Amino acid sequence: MMAPSKEARDKWVRGLKYAMQMEQLAEQRNETNRWVREAFNMADKNGDGHLDFEEVLKLLKTLNTDIKKKYAKEMFDAADTNKNVGKGRSVLDKEEFVNFYHRLTKRVELEEIFLAMATNLYATEDECRNIVDNFEPEGNCRKKDQLSEIGFRNYLIAERQQIFNPANRVVWQDMNRPLTHYFVASSHNTYLAEDQLKGPSKVEMYITALRKGCRCVELDCWDGSEGEPVIYHGHTLTSKILFKDVIKAVNDYAFEASPYPLTLSLENHCSVEQQKVMAENMVSILGDKLWCPQNDYVATPSPEQLRYRIIIKGKTLPLSTNDDDLDVSDEDEAADLPSDPASQEPKEKSSSSSSDGHKKIKLSPELSSITSMKSVSFKVVDSSFIPDPTFSVVSLGESKVEKLIQTNPFGLNDISHSKMIRTYPAGTRTDSSNYNPVPMWNHGCQVVALNYQTGGEAMQLNHGRFMDNGGVGYVLKPAFLMSEDLFPLVTENVSRSVSKVLKITIISGYQIPKPNDSTKGEIIDPFVKVEIYGVPSDVAEYKTKVMENNGFNPRWRETCSFKIRVPELALVRFTVTDHDRTRDDFIGYYCLPVLSIQDGFRHFPLFDKYGNQFSQTLIFTHVTLTNA
């Protein structure tokens, strides 16, 4: 090709390449149109040449285009331009349907990427053929090993191509370390469906938590009528459920979401007689699932060692005793609850106060013998602390652990090297609200218990933390949380060679719903907030602009960048919110560990405040995670 200058030549080359791309795209669109017309003919069962709205909805599902009914109806009405067919009914003829389909599925931002990709080599020939085979719906394109715009869109929204790395959807971490080396998905007052004062207790709440991958559930046990122990929030108006019904549900659902050990955290307020009933129920119902090593010294086991086993956590008697039952101190949550000022009666018939302020309870040997995670006292962290390799747990209320984080973070982390640390919400959270779990994780606390029934920021972060490692409820802690020498990475702003830069472009959204509790009309004004959670030096956020009157296909095209010093502990949370002059309304979220991010053009779904995924909503991004 001859040209008067290099610049003129390059312009011609670019122009010709663009013309070739557009010609190829037009050919593919013709093929797509033919395919859509064939699908229309298949759906037109009576051969009258048109489809009504319900027929169109059925056809869209066969074309793998699932869309909200209201949006589809609006576009259907807009496409119904030929009023001379249908005999008074709203219908689409074949060409109207073709136009309707393209308007409905059109995503300009994907077309631009598709054109750019079409002239560059990004994958091997075998990889390309595999993509065509799996995602191209049109037969002629598949025969020619071609990927149409529709096939490209199907590829980009496939689960394995989304922002969460598919390598982390399976168990990929070493599961042979002691349990103290793992964060454990944990529930507080699992039986409660609502508040802590008069809400209902339900067996179904255990099933829900277990199906979400929870690996530690709580049972508040009290004497019930007719010799049957019950579970409820003591000294409140919450309803009661039978202990044995909960154990039956645990037996049925314990390992539905994860094969790794489940802990039953017993808060025991029962008489010795009903403790024996509890033990009998667990032995007869759970059978071989119970893990009950019969010796005084038990080293901390690993998740792999305890696959499909159930651990009972609670107080234990020394095996050397010959007494039928002995007093043990009660370190559990009831000690943190305010006493009823109107009553001078002790809270439990079988309890008495000890000189250190803790209550004493009688413990039955039968219950003690099946309790394998021993609850131990926590008094003070000091230089005389001696690591104890036996399998034990320390329970700390929210205010106590937050004070330790402020005053003695190294001492708190030291305990987690050899013991499990369980934290739980303050007794004053009668509305079942939650605390921020991130500081506890940052300091090595393994069993950070949350109110699973309460949606919000804390449970969203919990969801993101335990998406990793196959979602089995156990995530390996970073090595520096198990080392006194390396722990300053958390407490001090130490520079690191493994620091990362996370760059995110929020490109667009698709079918964003209006808030469930919104009193506004159907049109929303969405914006996206990106937040980084982790060690204090990494905490940051970014907000996009508000897109007015567009929940169907808003396009932001905004980029933010974060330097993350400790990526091993960092989570990124996306929230989509409907802007309003009086109050912004939460719509949905997505949260994942920073090190589980997959680079490139990526979609992610949205979840509502209770952790349920919206079936059609997607946010489209471009993401890079590079060394700082």
Model confidence at 343: pLDDT above 50 = no
* Sheet with 359-363, edge to edge strand ranges: 326-330, 359-363, 351-353
Residue 400: its H or E element? helix 398-407
**Residue 325, token pair as written in the block:** 């039952």
Mean pLDDT for 477-493 is 94
Q: Ranked by mean pLDDT, which of 24-33, 99-108, 417-426 comes out on top?
A: 417-426
Residue 22: which pLDDT band, with cuts at 50, 70 and 90? low
151, 109 in Cβ contact below 8 A? no
CB neighbour class for 56 (10 Å; exposed up to 12, middle 13-18, buried from 19)? buried
Report the pLDDT value the prediction gives residue 162, as an integer from 0 to 100.
Answer: 93
Mean pLDDT for 314-342 is 58
Angstrom distance (rounded) from CA 523 to CA 103: 19
Buried b (16+ CB within 10 A) or exposed e, 591-604: bbbbbbbbeebbbb
For residue range 430-442, what is the model confidence (pLDDT) as tens digits? Answer: 999 999 999 999 9
Neighbours of 29 (CB within 10 A): 14
For residue range 540-562, what is the model confidence (pLDDT) as tens digits? Answer: 999 999 998 888 789 999 999 99
Mean pLDDT for 229-238 is 95
Which residues are the active-site residues?
A: 188, 233
Residue 351: which pLDDT band, with cuts at 50, 70 and 90? very low
Residue 93: its H or E element? strand 91-93
Report the pLDDT value the prediction gives residue 65, as an integer from 0 to 100.
Answer: 62
Model confidence at 517: pLDDT above 50 = yes
Q: Ranked by mean pLDDT, which of 1-15, 370-384, 465-479 comes out on top?
A: 465-479
Q: Within 13 Å of residue 597, how many CA atoms lie on the same side as its CB? A: 28
Model confidence at 339: pLDDT above 70 = no
Report the pLDDT value the prediction gives residue 68, as an integer from 0 to 100.
Answer: 73
Report the pLDDT value the prediction gives residue 113, as an integer from 0 to 100.
Answer: 83
Which three-class secondary structure string do you get for 203-266? CHHHHHHHHCCCCEEEEEEECCHHHCCEECCCCCCCCCEEHHHHHHHHHHHCCCCCCCCEEEEE
Q: Which residues pair with 421 in a beta bridge?
A: 394
Question: By mean pLDDT, which of 20-34, 163-177, 223-237, 363-377 is the weakest?
Answer: 20-34
Report the pLDDT value the prediction gives residue 273, as an integer from 0 to 100.
Answer: 97
Q: Bigger pLDDT: 106 or 184? A: 184
CB neighbour class for 626 (10 Å; exposed up to 12, middle 13-18, buried from 19)? exposed
Angstrom distance (rounded) from CA 192 to CA 203: 9
Q: Let me know the angle formed at the C-alpha of 473 by 468 and 477, rounded to the nearest 5 degrees.
A: 65
Report the pLDDT value the prediction gives residue 346, as an integer from 0 to 100.
Answer: 35
Model confidence at 344: pLDDT above 70 = no
- Using a pLDDT cut of 90, give the percent of the chain over it: 58
Query: Beta strand 230-231 with 500-510: parallel, antiparallel or unpaired?
Result: unpaired
Report the pLDDT value the prediction gives residue 158, as an integer from 0 to 100.
Answer: 85
Report the pLDDT value the prediction gives residue 259, as an integer from 0 to 100.
Answer: 98
3-state helix, strand, coil in the chain (%, to 5): 35, 25, 40
Model confidence at 26: pLDDT above 80 = no
315, 358 in Cβ contact below 8 A? no
Model confidence at 160: pLDDT above 80 = yes
Model confidence at 123: pLDDT above 60 = yes
All structural domains of the chain: 6-161 (1.10.238.10), 179-335+349-482 (3.20.20.190), 493-627 (2.60.40.150)
Report the pLDDT value the prediction gives residue 18, as an integer from 0 to 100.
Answer: 64
Report the pLDDT value the prediction gives residue 104, as an integer from 0 to 100.
Answer: 78
Report the pLDDT value the prediction gives residue 350, as an integer from 0 to 100.
Answer: 40
Q: Bigger pLDDT: 530 or 350? A: 530
Neighbours of 411 (CB within 10 A): 15
Mean pLDDT for 479-505 is 94
Q: Ranked by mean pLDDT, which of 18-22, 32-36, 330-334, 621-625 comes out on top?
A: 621-625
Report the pLDDT value the prediction gives residue 348, as an integer from 0 to 100.
Answer: 38
Model confidence at 345: pLDDT above 50 = no
Angstrom distance (rounded) from CA 327 to CA 322: 13
* Sheet with 540-543, edge to edge strand ranges: 540-543, 526-533, 571-578, 585-593, 600-607, 613-627, 500-510, 555-564
Check the CA dihedral 50-55-58-61 and report its sign: positive
Mean pLDDT of the chain: 87
Report the pLDDT value the prediction gives residue 27, as an integer from 0 to 100.
Answer: 65
Nearest residue to 575 (alpha-carbon basis) of 600, 547, 543 = 543
Residue 313: which pLDDT band, with cuts at 50, 70 and 90? very high
Report the pLDDT value the prediction gives residue 336, as an integer from 0 to 100.
Answer: 54
Model confidence at 140: pLDDT above 60 = yes
Angstrom distance (rounded) from CA 115 to CA 149: 9
Report the pLDDT value the prediction gives residue 124, as an integer from 0 to 100.
Answer: 82
Report the pLDDT value the prediction gives residue 489, as an integer from 0 to 100.
Answer: 93
**Residue 548, token pair as written in the block:** 């007015």
* Size of the chain, expressed as the number of residues it contains: 628
Question: By mean pLDDT, which of 91-100, 265-274, 447-456 is the weakest?
Answer: 91-100
